């Protein structure tokens, strides 16, 4: 008995759950079926016409858990009991199946999949079932997920077999985690983690982390391109910047609108001063540079290859390759006047 699908328009069909809308899950599940769409008032008539000599399933587009297996089970039930109509779930809120030629009615087919996303409780039920499906498929494929209860991965993300996802991770959007990468306690949105990358307790968006690079803990990366073998440590923020292979910033730095050359070290407390109050400007730091602690690089500025910028320096002009730059006041010591008059 051939089964066709009549999708019913629904207010919550566009609600996004773990990367896809409710209706996207259904459209993908039933891509191999003959499908039509209808408004709620026309659904039964459309389904009856669609059924022909077979069966038509009427499925609201806000019921994303329904599977082809559910519909096949329903069709078998209709055939066995010579039914003209079969209710899937709740009579007023569920789906149904119809067959041309009539027959006995009154059968209900129950399943935890016949749930709409039209309320807070129902949404929670659907969300958690979809979450379990996603993680189950990844486990079956060979992705190491240590704690499924505390891991959330969007259906749109790509996690390769051999990747390891430790607890308290949220991997969203079009993120890609390559085999051999290790993600621990982090939030990734539209990011790529190459093989051997290690990201721990950090927040990344629109960022690529190269092979064998380490990020975190407590790093914040936005629109960043991190090369191979890099180190981005705790409380480092990188925004709209390129970090070439082997570059390092171990802790407490802001790197915005910049390009940092290969094997360059950015010291603790360094700030790339990219905003003048009206516009953003870029900074270029060459290869094999040493940028000391508490340095301010006031954009637009360029630091040549192999330059050494001493701690506490504010750089406002371009620095030649190989130069040593120091811009702080020479330390002096003066006698302290004792103002504490005690007897």
Task: Report the chain's terminal Cα–Cα distance, integer Å.
Answer: 108
Q: β-strands 85-88, 95-99: how paired?
A: antiparallel
Q: How many CA atoms lie within 13 A of 215 on its CB side?
A: 38
Q: What is the DSSP letter of 76?
A: H
β-sheet bridge partners, residue 109? 88
Which residue in the list 113, 187, 203, 251 is annotated as catalytic?
Answer: 251
Q: Measured between alpha carbons, how far is 258 from 125 in angstroms, rounded to an integer?
A: 45
DSSP of 198-224, one letter per residue?
EEES-EEES-EE-TT-EE-SS-EEES-
What tokens were used for 219? 């790093």
Q: What are phi and psi of 195, to 5 degrees?
A: -55, 130
Query: Cα 241 to chain center, whole Å?
Result: 20
Q: Measured between alpha carbons, how far is 233 from 235 in angstroms, rounded to an integer?
A: 7
- Is 251 a residue of the active site? yes
CB within 8 A of 168, min separation 6: which ones? 147, 150, 151, 184, 185
CB within 8 A of 177, min separation 6: which ones? 157, 158, 159, 160, 163, 165, 171, 183, 188, 192, 193
Residue (of 67, 71, 11, 7) closest to 35 by Cα position: 7
Residue (of 103, 108, 74) closest to 93 by Cα position: 108
Q: Name the residues annotated as catalytic.
A: 251
């Amino acid at each position: 008995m051939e089964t066709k699908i009549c999708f019913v328009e629904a207010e919550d069909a566009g609600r996004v759950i773990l990367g896809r809308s409710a209706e996207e899950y259904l459209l993908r599940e039933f891509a191999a079926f003959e499908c039509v769409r209808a408004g709620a008032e026309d659904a039964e008539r459309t389904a009856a016409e669609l059924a022909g000599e077979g069966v038509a399933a009427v499925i609201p587009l806000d019921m994303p858990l329904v599977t082809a297996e559910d519909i096949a089970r329903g069709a078998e039930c209709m055939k066995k009991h010579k039914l003209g109509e079969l209710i899937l779930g709740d009579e007023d809120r569920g789906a149904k199946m119809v067959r041309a030629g009539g027959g006995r009615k009154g059968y209900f087919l129950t399943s935890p999949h016949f749930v709409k996303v039209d309320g807070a409780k129902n949404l929670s039920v659907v969300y958690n079932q979809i979450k379990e499906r996603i993680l189950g498929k990844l486990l079956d494929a060979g992705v190491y997920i240590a704690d499924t209860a505390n891991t959330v991965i969007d259906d749109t993300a790509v996690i390769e077999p051999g990747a390891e996802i430790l607890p308290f991770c949220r991997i969203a959007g079009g993120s890609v985690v390559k085999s051999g990468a290790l993600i621990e306690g982090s939030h990734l949105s539209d990011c790529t983690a190459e093989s051997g990358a290690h990201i721990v307790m950090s927040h990344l968006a629109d960022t690529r982390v190269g092979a064998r690079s380490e990020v975190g803990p407590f790093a914040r990366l936005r629109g960043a391109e991190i090369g191979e073998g890099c180190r981005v440590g705790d409380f480092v923020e990188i925004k709209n910047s390129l970090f070439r292979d082997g570059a390092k910033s171990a802790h407490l730095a802001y790197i915005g609108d910049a390009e940092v050359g290969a094997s360059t070290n950015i010291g603790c407390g360094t700030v790339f001063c990219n905003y003048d109050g009206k516009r953003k400007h870029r900074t270029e730091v060459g290869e094999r540079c040493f940028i000391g602690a508490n340095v301010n690089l006031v954009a637009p500025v360029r630091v040549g290859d192999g330059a050494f910028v001493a701690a506490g320096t504010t750089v406002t002009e371009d620095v030649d390759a190989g130069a040593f730059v120091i811009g702080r006041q020479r330390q002096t010591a003066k006698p302290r006047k004792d103002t504490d008059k005690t007897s």
